[in-house]
Chain A
Amino acid sequence: MLVDVDLQARAGEIVMIAGRSGGGKTTLLRAIKGILQPQRGHLSVLGAPPRVDGRADPRIGFIPQQLGLVRAETVLANTLTGACSRTGLLRSLLGRFAPEEYERAHAILDQLGIGEYAQLPVRMLSGGQRQRVAIARSLMQQPSILLADEFVSQLDLVTAREILEVTRAIARRGVTVLMTTHEVEMAREFADRIVMLQDGRVAVDAPATDVDVARIREVLR
């Protein structure tokens, strides 16, 4: 449960939401995405309450903890899924997207360094490559906000840093990134801001460079 969470994020800012398991990190991201509806209070995302019913807002990219990729499908097909909101019913049923969507998808995959795997099924990729496919799918949405839940928790240190570098490059283009993590050290290195949740309340909200380490330890204890 979240209580009195007051959080504002600027365009292009990377906000790491940290805290112990069960502290409300995932709940917060899901509320921002509109998957969960707040029982009380006010939540405004991109100037309006998140859509709870009907189609989700494509301007908010969401990468769940296990990535939610369609494992039997190719890297390209997974990436193109991000163009659903711009694609008509018939094209969707036929699985054929507009030519410019293919161009956009290939360009994104190339930027993320997985262009050569476009035709491979996702199940054949490594953990880090799958992470990039999930990013590519979100970028296809042309999002203003990217939400990522425990994004690098299951990766080795080197791959996790590579993925966070990619995320930093995305933020530089003006996309606000909100990521949950329990890797506070990595959060301090890559985030602009760290928000720590404890029992559903904001316990720490500070620039990553100024965050009080003693206070972090206290929250995590």
Chain B
Amino acid sequence: MTTAAVILVFFIAAAWTEFSPEKIAAGIPRIGEYFGKLFSIEPKGSAHPIGVLALPHLFGGVREPQSIAYWFYRIGTYLSLLWQTIEMAILSTALGFGAAFALSFPATRIFVGSGTIVFVTRRLLEFMRSVPQVVLAFILVWPFGIGPLAGVIAIAVHTTGTLGKLFCELNENVDLRPIDGIRSVGGSWLALMRLGVVPQVLPGFLSYALLRFEINVRSSTIIGFVGAGGIGQELKRVIGFNIYEEVSAIVILILLIVVVIDLISEQIRHRFIGAQSFNAATS
């Protein structure tokens, strides 16, 4: 019964989106052709496209087709843009962490007497994480101009929303005894938070922030599609101008950087934060 409904809805949705087997069959050769072009070049003076790499020329100079240097001849530009992408991720994660940290305390019911404050902060966080960040970046490009600033703010806002919710959940599970202890000697609300809560939750917060950093590196690579800086802006340009071999070069670099960041961040999580609090934070 459920299976039938799932299949029925699939066919209705497929018809709605004009998704038909004929179109796919017609499209697949073109996809193959396109991916073939991504890995082939047409050097000056030669009529036929050749593979982007060939073993005898692999380590040739910049002017020798089919060498790594020829394929990645704009590596300097790419690397500086990749570095900008990572810097965008660092800054937006840090800003989002700061804002989420500040907002997570008023959003936790057990810390705040007034239900209104909790409700308003929670709705604010929900709104921040619900608006797609690429849409936000597209909108912010209008006031802030083309460039990384709009992207950083858009990712920071989204990070605030997602981290704020997670921080809130950690806050709700704190041990209340240190707080009672500080209250009994007359600590103010800020002192309760600073000395009673923060030491308990900070490892979890940092662990979440690192996980978020990995996600933000991915986001920074695409936020440039709407003109908001980073390697995405260059990728959109070369795809638009059909500079095929540069598309594959940039895509490979993006894949590499994502894998490298994931590995580094995993190492940091395991080494500095410890397996125990990491498990507590993700489960």
Q: Do the two chains bind?
A: no
